[in-house]
Amino acid sequence: MYPFDPLREFNSNGLADPLFHFVERFETRFFFSWLMTRLPDAEQQLAQYREMKRLAVESYRRKLVWLRARRADPQVLAHFQQLTARWESALADPAALSRLFAVEAFRSHVLDIEDDLHGQSCTLLTLQRIDWVINQLEQHYRFIADEGGLFYDNEGKSQQALLSSYAQKRQQAQQYLLNATGREGLTALASLLLLRLVHQAVGGGHQRVETGMAGGIVFDAAPGERQLPGIGRLLVETRHVVAERLHRRRGIVTAGIGEQNDKFVPPPCLARISDSGRPLSSSRRWRSARDRPLHAPRYH
């Protein structure tokens, strides 16, 4: 944990980046990726978003009580009052909630794309996010711009400039993904081929072989049940496995969220802060302004 003074700062980058706060971090790092991968239905996504925002309002109301009781800096207090009021208004108006959902989803996917590219830790989900952002820019550029959805390096850019930028980001993400599968995928492929050769040398038999080197691939070596796939197919499968390994390593899938039958279950940190009302700081820290790119704060 990287501490900051919650009475005088928005986050561990002081007052420089009001975009980032506890609920935003949860939405960006977990919630919107969970919606994208688990709930493709738009109505279900909006329903879960509404419930999450209801809990967020309850959380920030307690935060405001805590801030007032400790005479927080007026700028900090006003910032969280404004956030809470906006969410309360959206919860009272379905049309406003839909607009807020669209803007915050765009924000979160944009930020996570930058995080993946900066860390060269792109996965298949990164490509899915980029495709989603491109689609939103094609269909709803004016709405996003008018609602303040363009920030940092995207601010002030034309629709065509942004589409060109994200096309380049997609190529970059694909290259990082190929580099990762090139390193780990060949190891997985070699181990599978070795298993097959050993199995044939000892005369086969009905057995299942699991290999950690192959990223948890279960290889059924029983004669006649499954032949070794073609190299092309195996490489494709390996790429998916490696992507999932990288995905889990970064803790994006559902880590810290909790799920029961694909229904969103908020973690305790969102449902309730500590009894003292003390806000939770991020598990990562922003670099100082001189160390980070202009487009978005970075994390360690």
pLDDT value for 63: 98
Put simply, whether the predicted model's pTM sits higher than 0.75 gets the answer no
* Confidence tier at 8 by pLDDT (50, 70, 90): very high
Best CA proximity match to 151, nearest among 253, 14, 20? 20
Q: Which carries the bigger pLDDT value, residue 142 or residue 296?
A: 142
Q: Using CB atoms within 10 Å of the CB of residue 271, give its burial: 0 to 12 exposed, 13 to 18 middle, 19+ buried.
A: exposed
**CB distance 10 to 57 below 8 Å:** no
pLDDT digits (tens, 9 = 90+) for 26-53: 999 999 999 999 998 999 999 999 999 9
Rg (CA), the chain: 23
pLDDT tens-digit readout, 152-163: 999 999 999 999
DSSP state of 11: B
Q: How confident is the model at residue 177 (pLDDT cuts 50, 70, 90)?
A: confident
119: pLDDT strictly greater than 50: yes
Q: Please report the pLDDT score of residue 260 as a whole number.
A: 39
Q: 123 near 247, Cβ under 8 Å?
A: yes
DSSP class per residue in 233-259: HHHHHHHHHHHHHHHHHTT-SSTTT-E
> What pLDDT shows up at residue 221?
37
Which ranges constitute the DSSP H helices of the chain? 22-26, 32-38, 42-69, 74-91, 94-119, 124-146, 159-201, 231-249, 268-271
* Strand (E) or helix (H) holding 219: strand 217-220
Percent of the chain past pLDDT 70, that is, above it, reads: 60
65-95 pLDDT, tens digit each = 999 999 999 999 999 999 999 999 999 999 9
Contacting residues for 53 by C-beta, under 8 A, at least 6 apart: 87, 90, 91, 97, 100
Predicted confidence at residue 190, as pLDDT, reads 55
Residue 299 token pair: 């994390």
Q: Among 10-14, 67-71, 195-199, which stretch is predicted with the lowest mean pLDDT?
A: 195-199
pLDDT band (50, 70, 90) for residue 210: very low
